[in-house]
Chain A
Amino acid sequence: MPTSPRVLRVVLLIFGALFLLASCTTSAPQHHKNPQAAKGEALYQVSCGACHQSNGQGLEGIAPPLAGTRWASESEERLARIVLHGLRGSITVADKEYNLEMPALGFFNDQDIAAILTYIRAAWGKPAESVSEETIGKIRTQTRERIDSWTVEELLSSP
């Protein structure tokens, strides 16, 4: 049976509307306007996303979420400490307790860590602020004697 032009138009309109809806709900990330965050996203997916998940929601028994947590939106220096030296012991995030060990990623250079943290904050914390390479360098210098990972208590007592 031949399809009438009117039916075809309706079908096309429905598909168009569905496409627009899908575009909105998959949230084309605004942070991609920031090249530093775009670079950070690529690094995050390789080195952080397998545990914290690409959507930042974390996974039970593996890693806590970042999205919508104080860790992503509060102190950038605290985040830098975690990435440089790792995190261990009990931590409660989004009302769930985790007791695991995040590895230190201090082998990334300051520029890369700044990019990763800019992405994390842009995606799930403070979109307006970039983390500078200088901030990471400062924390790296301040904590260069440290050989073990941080505990939550240590981190929360630091700025």
Chain B
Amino acid sequence: MWQTNSYGDDVHVIDVGTQKVVGHIKVGPQPHGIAAPDDAHVVFVAIENLKGPLGELVWVDPKTYKITHRLTIGPKPNQLACTPDGRWVYVPCNDGHYWVIDTKAKKVVKKIKTGGRPHNTQCSRDGRFMYLSPMGPPKRVTIVDVKANHKVVGEIPFANSVRPPALAADNKRFFQHIDGLVGFQVADIASRKVIATVKHTIPKEYKGKKSRCHGLAIRPDQKEIWSCNVEHKTLHVHDITKEEFPEITRIPMIGRIYWLCFTPDSRFCYAAVRSEKKVCVVDCRTKKVITHIGVGNIPKRNLVITLK
């Protein structure tokens, strides 16, 4: 499991077998987004570089932990996505555009304007579509056909500024955190329409305290969606096999959580506890916290990769 430390300059690597830190890689100032192709021959890290005018996309070899390439890109890049074959990387930059990078040619081939502050990205399992979720006024997700020369083919409007998303493996449902909702909205991708607004149950001790959600992920077995409720320090688990998306349980966290990911066998969840500089490991079956692992400065985005 690779954990970026968003106020540091490094990534921690954790072995999901032992839950121990096995690697520490210096990548550049304020590493933010992280993505990898299915075969994990490379890991892409977006360097936000908050102090400078431009960011970077960094290629890391996951076997040697060496940086094999760096590409200067737009300002303040955030959560990127790559196609399952690793050929195309979409990076949201703070210039109102998603930068499209051809990783074979190692160059920027297109910039797709969404407006707002491009922030989060999802790729469909078949690598055909990219879903762009920019923060701010657009209040919509832009859908791009990767294979049609990165052409915009649709939009899904949401009720408010869009934040972290999650995409079902069958490409039918799109789940989206939005501002002003402690919960998420669900869209039907075919009709491009929101079909449900799902609210989390606020833990008793936090009633009356305002919060927001940041970090949404579908368990790889496609049975549950897990959502980070930041200020209420709670992970909410919902059943996505039922159309009402009922909440199954809530898992209290030790601090403010900001992102999460799963092992491919759906056994463990890793939640980045940004306020504690730790990653919380949860057993997905029992929904119990197993351990906490110390990482770097303000951990946010994370990702499990499987080395072939």
**Hey, which bits of chain A sit against chain B, CB under 8 A?**
46-47, 50-51, 59-62, 88-90, 99-101, 103-105, 107-108, 147-148
B3 at the interface (CB under 8 A from A): no
Q: Are A99 and B117 interface neighbours, CB within 8 A? A: no
Give chain B residues whose Cβ lies under 8 Å from the Cβ of A148: 256, 274-275
Tell which of A59, A61, A90, A103 touches B50, judged by Cβ atoms closer than 8 Å: A103
Mask of B89-117 contacts with A, CB within 8 angstroms, 1/0: 00000110000000000000000000011
Please tell me if the beta carbons of B275 and A99 are within 8 angstroms of each other in the complex.
no
- When chains A and B are docked, how far (Å) is the Cα of A90 from the Cα of B6? 22
Leading 3 A-B pairs by shortest Cβ distance = A61-B161, A61-B136, A90-B210
Minimal beta-carbon separation of B98 from chain A (angstroms):
15
Question: Nearest CB to that of A60 among chain B residues?
Answer: B137
19 contacts between A and B (CB under 8 A): A46-B52, A46-B75, A47-B51, A50-B75, A59-B117, A59-B137, A61-B116, A61-B161, A61-B179, A62-B136, A62-B161, A99-B211, A99-B212, A103-B6, A104-B7, A104-B298, A107-B51, A147-B275, A148-B275
Contacts of A104 in B (CB 8 A): 7, 298
Known A103-B50, A105-B50; judge A60-B210 contact (CB<8 A). Answer: no
Most chain A CB within a 10 A radius of its CB, from B6, B135, B139: B135
- Give which listed residue, B50, B136, B212, contacts A47 with CB less than 8 A: B50
Q: Is the CB of A50 within 8 A of B179?
A: no
Determine if B222 is an interface residue (Cβ-Cβ < 8 Å): no
Beta-carbon contact of B210 and A61 below 8 Å: no
Contact partner, A108, options B51, B75, B277, Cβ 8 Å: B51
By beta carbon, the residue of chain B nearest A149 is: B275
Q: Is B180 an interface residue (CB 8 A)?
A: yes
Q: Which residues of A contact B275 (CB under 8 A)?
A: 147-148
Closest A-chain residue to B182, C-beta based? Answer: A99
User: Given known contacts A104-B7, A148-B256, is B52 in contact with A60 (CB within 8 Å)?
Assistant: no
| Contact A62 B135, beta carbon cutoff 8 Å | yes
CA of A104 to CA of B116, assembled, Å:
21
Residues of A with C-beta under 8 A to B256: 88, 148
**A99, B179: Cα distance in complex, Å:** 8
Whole-angstrom distance between the Cβ of B297 and the nearest chain A Cβ: 8
Alpha-carbon separation in the docked complex, A73 to B53 (Å): 27
* Residue B231 interfacial (CB < 8 Å): yes
Known: A50-B117, A103-B7. A60 touches B161 (CB 8 A): yes
CB neighbours (8 Å) of A47 from chain B are 50-51
Known pairs A50-B94, A99-B179, A108-B51; A89 contacts B76 (CB<8 A): no
* B266 interfacial contact with A, CB 8 Å: no
B253 nearest CB across to chain A (Å): 14
CB pair B117 A62 closer than 8 Å? yes
Which residues of A are found within 8 Å of B94, using beta-carbon distances? 50-51
Contact partner of B277 among A59, A62, A105, A147, CB < 8 A? A147
For window 6-46 of chain B, which residues contact chain A by CB distance below 8 Å? 6-7, 29
**B6 surroundings in chain A (CB, below 8 A):** 103
Would A50 and B7 count as touching, CB distance under 8 A? Answer: no
User: Are A51's CB and B117's CB within 8 A?
Assistant: yes
Q: How far is the CA of A90 from the CA of B231 in the complex (A)?
A: 10
Given known pairs A62-B136, A147-B275, the reply for A99 and B50 (CB within 8 Å) is no
